[in-house]
Structure 1
Amino acid sequence: MAERRCLAIRHVAFEDLGLLAPLLEASGYQIRYREAGVDDLTAEDPHAPDLLVILGGPIGAADEADYPFLADEVRLLRERLAADRPTLGLCLGAQLMARALGAQVYPAREKEIGWAPLELTAAGRAGCLRHLDGGITLVLHWHGDTFELPAGATRLASTRACENQAFAYGERALALQFHAEAAGRALERWFIGHTVEIAATPGVSVPQLRADTARHSATLHEQGRRCFSEWLEAVEE
């Protein structure tokens, strides 16, 4: 099996590739993390990795005044998407993909934190996201912002609170505002790292998040594995 290269840009240590990591390794990918705000992202060739993954984080996609490296991520994504190279954005990563494609990112009418089902579009049901249909499993949501659907993109999923939960662009780019890669005991790190946000969000608590995580993780792990495996097979060149 020929070795492939995956570049994953990480914003906080605990929001990593999650269940994607063993899938990628089993598919022959060598994973390399770059730490946003620490590593020089301008040194990265946007065309070089076989797969680029932009991970989540608690900052806003348009917060360049405080986090100038976001402009570097947008430039990296803009070139990558224009070349139709395999690209995956998760939560903040999806929002940055939307920005790179010229769409606006803005505060959602309500914050989504916790486990909830997706409503798939016809296009979503026809592709790999069918494994995450709300009738099958719940996924983890953890965001306060949302985005317009970029021109030329195809909406794949929505929720009651957020019309644009996922989109495809071209043949090899997928943006997921929710988390299908995160489940199980690893989320205890999220409960610690996001303690201030949890405490400040009405109706959200660590005990409830922990109970829901225990209830839904096994199904999400299996369905998420199927979803990402199918997508990887479709975009590999």
Structure 2
Amino acid sequence: MRLHYLQHVPFENPGSILTWAQENGHLITNTQLYKDETLPMQHDFDWLVIMGGPMNIYEEESYPWLVDEKVLIKEAIASGKVVIGLCLGGQLIADVIGGKVTTNPYKEIGWFPIRLSEEARLSPLFSFFPAEPIVFQWHGDTFSVLPAEATCIGESDACKHQAFIYKKRVFGFQYHMENTPMIIKGLVENCREEMVHDVYVQTAEELLAHPGYIEQNNQWMKLFLTQLEEMDRKGEL
């Protein structure tokens, strides 16, 4: 399987997704958009992973590569690829499928529980999750409106839409299960100005104080990807 990922800033790489892909012998390619690298053609990859980043989906003037990135994502979905978006990546997916991305009522930064829907927990893709997993958040915007074809599968007190599935093969996550300690340190170092005092914003010390949460999130991500690959291979998506 050929996995391609889109990276928006140097400090947000796919983390445990890369580890999983390497352990399973998959071909990994990438586009570093902040370096203005050339995007791939649709025939170059099977799965597309879209990373997070501090920019917003509507900031095309400051980040002109967003225009072509959205076209690539839309074409990948139309081509029937498996597409996974994380935080900004999930928002980009929501935008190209006809949803809306707006400022969330609360900024969410830190470790917080989400609630998975009963439908999600009955799916083999999510059956191993607890009802309220604690996941890592770092966002101010969110996919506040989803099209009818998308199914919201997670919510929290701070954010109504935490995850969605679109046409069985496209997944948007507002939260991060791929983050390693190095990625979280990079976020703290590069985006510290976003950590304003608020009800759902934890301190840098709190963010870095839970290696057990990081390990558990990485394990959930690997289990999700393994099940997704198996169902994709069997034609069950």
| Aligned partner of 2:202 among 190, 204, 222 | 204
The answer on whether the counterparts of 1:84 and 1:171 sit within 8 Å (CA) in structure 2 is: no
Q: How does 1:53-132 map to 2 (within 5 A)?
A: 53-127=49-123, 128-132=125-129
Change beyond 3 A, Cα 1:104–1:9: same
- The answer to whether structure 1 residue 183 and structure 2 residue 197 are counterparts is no
Share of identical aligned residues, percent?
30
Letter in 2 for 1:6: L
How far apart in 1 are the matches of 2:105 and 2:183?
29
Q: Unmatched 5+ residue regions in structure 1?
A: none
Residues paired across the two proteins, number:
230
The answer on whether the counterparts of 1:118 and 1:133 sit within 8 Å (CA) in structure 2 is: no
Change beyond 3 A, Cα 1:7–1:107: same
How far apart in 1 are the matches of 2:22 and 2:147?
31
- Give the CA deviation at 1:134: 4.4
Q: Normalising to structure 1: TM-score of the pair?
A: 0.89
Q: Normalising to structure 2: TM-score of the pair?
A: 0.89
Q: How does 1:126-205 map to 2 (within 5 A)?
A: 126-127=122-123, 128-135=125-132, 137-147=133-143, 148-198=145-195, 200-202=196-198, 203-205=201-203
Greater mean alpha carbon deviation, residues 89-98 or residues 188-197:
188-197
Which stretches of structure 1, 4 residues or more, deviate above 6 A after TM superposition? none
How far apart in 2 are the matches of 1:134 and 1:219?
14
Letter in 2 for 1:105: V
- Give the CA deviation at 1:69: 1.1
Change beyond 3 A, Cα 1:37–1:162: same
How far apart in 1 are the matches of 2:188 and 2:229?
29
- Give the CA deviation at 1:170: 1.4
| Aligned partner of 1:224 among 209, 221, 226 | 221
- Give the CA deviation at 1:214: 2.6
TM-superposition CA deviations, 1:192-217 (whole Å, max 9, x none): 1222212x343531112112x33422
Letter in 1 for 2:202: V
- Give the CA deviation at 1:47: 4.3
Change beyond 3 A, Cα 1:13–1:125: same
